[in-house]
Chain A
């Protein structure tokens, strides 16, 4: 059929099964918004900032496992969205982001709202396109969705000049993709898998090192079975929270800079790292030369470039985790779980020596208590998003995660302002779950305008703001490493968060006691509208334990020992 470029965008989205688009209109993308007005194949959520549109699409993608879609205009619309693209790129989130561009005749003339968008998005997308002819648009959109979700997922940016959206051309979406230069591996080498299984069988102190790739490849339940059947202890990265359930006896905990003592010690003592979809990030490894020093390394990843990038892999396996782990499960009888009995005991001794905990020794509520309490009250019924900082680490440490896709956070890029719009996307994808965003008094202001989006579209995200009147994580580093010079981190001057939420039409609570918190959370869940629950927490609480930047995992700063209440 002969239709306009703008109509093609709509038709392609519908053909791809897109049900929600996050975006913000403007001059160069108006033809497409005109078609959005006329259609009812998907709903459009108007964020109040383009960065928020991309984060919302990320939240949607992470919670649903589908490709998230955002739409923005040229120039400042696009540059506002760049942080979201970079965030999605670092965390391998499948997105298709469509931007308007000035008409072809104006490209290169410094036209109004013109910027070299694909020049800017190149280093922070998996791939990008400038569409110069509407006849290419069906193919490009089809490729964009395929590239975004296949292999190691990531954001794909499609930049469409305004005249191309008006141009009429033939639309046929039902054509086979012909990407001669892009063929992601899916099956791991059977020989390498066999060798890896033999290495596991002969190891004395093997350790699963679980990463976010497991969630991307929808392999969490296969991994659970693998861990269960082998009896091998497991540590999780920040991005892998929820792969194992919090109450799985073999889950040692999160490792890394704010990982548990037991997890970091296990990694330091292991003789075989079984890395599944993790990328040996510096926040995980600490000092590389001391990381898992006496261990051989099995590394399963779909991205060959992740293997042996930082830590040499003795058993590299390139492939899709779900497929590789399924094949490993077929040979699982080689492994005798009894062999690791004393290793499991060693690890539980580590956990007993320095358990992951906190002291309730002040009048003010401890932030960790808030996270634990939400876990007790909502548990599996909530999806948890976060912003970036102390609250994020406390949420990762203390929330009782029970399933994959429950935990939505900005790991690689560490984007403050991610949480609220992401939680909106999460709620749009999983309306049956309560959508909680843990935030701080610093982060929440970085996309606070999303109150309007949530109110308008009736998306009842509950933002729990752990307010310590500080830019807490930076303050913690200043306290520990900058001789308490708290440079520009004191956030004592603040808005009234309750009134702020109410001004947009949301609800707000300011709580100082545990009883008030319970009542506020219960009320917010019942009222089912967007809420701010501001919790006044202990100002100087530090995230512990901690591996100082560049230090070795086994050299942790630990929580002082005290009688706990």
Chain B
């Protein structure tokens, strides 16, 4: 089954998995093998446990999303799958600017998006913002005219309210 683009919706799925070798490829293989999309994926160990938490942003019709969660559940090392309805979602972005750009403007924009300048070097400054993925997108629009040299987005992490 392939993702139905027509009534495709953005969804965030969290997966709790046993933190063991090749578990990440089990998840990503499942998505590629069954034709599902991954918009972003983050993964890190859950402190003081044998588990890791993945946050996957994907898109699909209701039926596709239902299949994705069921298929994820079928993987042996998967403990739980949450498909979020009501959630707090954050993403981080790091951006590198030439030092010759207007630093105070950049700093002010960062503040508006829950961020700041985190490093000032010889030739470049680096900023960090952490906000909802949609707002991170807005931020990246806003700073376009300051000639960003490099942009890194972390992918979303989410927790149910």
* Contact partners of A127 in chain B: CB under 8 A: 76
Pair A308/B22 contact, Cβ less than 8 Å: no
Number of residues from A at the complex interface, CB < 8 A = 19
* Contact partners of A126 in chain B: CB under 8 A: 76
B138 close to chain A: CB less than 8 A: no
Take A123-B29, A130-B21, A130-B22 as given contacts and tell me if A304 and B73 are in contact as well, using a CB distance cutoff of 8 Å. Answer: yes
A108-150 residues with Cβ-Cβ distance < 8 A to B are 118-119, 122-123, 126-127, 130, 132, 147
A77-122 residues with Cβ-Cβ distance < 8 A to B are 118-119, 122
B101 close to chain A: CB less than 8 A: no
Q: How far is the CA of A181 from the CA of B49 in the complex (A)?
A: 14
* Contact partners of A179 in chain B: CB under 8 A: 76
Which of B53-61, B63-71, B147-155 lines the interface with chain A? Answer: B63-71
Pair B25/A304 contact, Cβ less than 8 Å: no
How large, as a class, is the contact surface on chain B? 20 to 34
* Contact partners of A303 in chain B: CB under 8 A: 74
B112 close to chain A: CB less than 8 A: no
Q: How far is the CA of A123 from the CA of B74 in the complex (A)?
A: 12
Pair A305/B74 contact, Cβ less than 8 Å: yes
A180 close to chain B: CB less than 8 A: yes
Pair A305/B76 contact, Cβ less than 8 Å: no
B77 close to chain A: CB less than 8 A: yes
Q: Is chain B's interface secondary structure helix, strand, loop, or mixed overall?
A: helix
Q: How far is the CA of A1 from the CA of B79 in the complex (A)?
A: 33
Pair A305/B67 contact, Cβ less than 8 Å: yes
Take A122-B25, A122-B26, A122-B29 as given contacts and tell me if A181 and B18 are in contact as well, using a CB distance cutoff of 8 Å. Answer: yes
Specify the chain A residue showing the minimal Cβ separation from B78: A181
A182 close to chain B: CB less than 8 A: yes
Pair A118/B22 contact, Cβ less than 8 Å: yes
Take A122-B25, A122-B29, A130-B21 as given contacts and tell me if A182 and B76 are in contact as well, using a CB distance cutoff of 8 Å. Answer: yes
A562 close to chain B: CB less than 8 A: no
A162-209 residues with Cβ-Cβ distance < 8 A to B are 179-182
Q: List 15 A-B contacts (CB under 8 A).
A: A118-B22, A122-B25, A130-B22, A132-B21, A181-B17, A181-B18, A182-B76, A303-B74, A304-B70, A304-B73, A305-B71, A308-B63, A308-B66, A309-B70, A310-B1
With contacts A181-B78, A182-B76, A310-B1 known, what are 12 further pairs, Cβ within 8 A?
Answer: A118-B22, A122-B22, A122-B29, A127-B76, A179-B76, A180-B79, A181-B17, A304-B70, A305-B71, A305-B74, A308-B63, A309-B67
Interface residues of B (CB under 8 A from A): 1, 17-18, 21-22, 25-26, 29, 33, 63, 66-67, 70-71, 73-74, 76-79
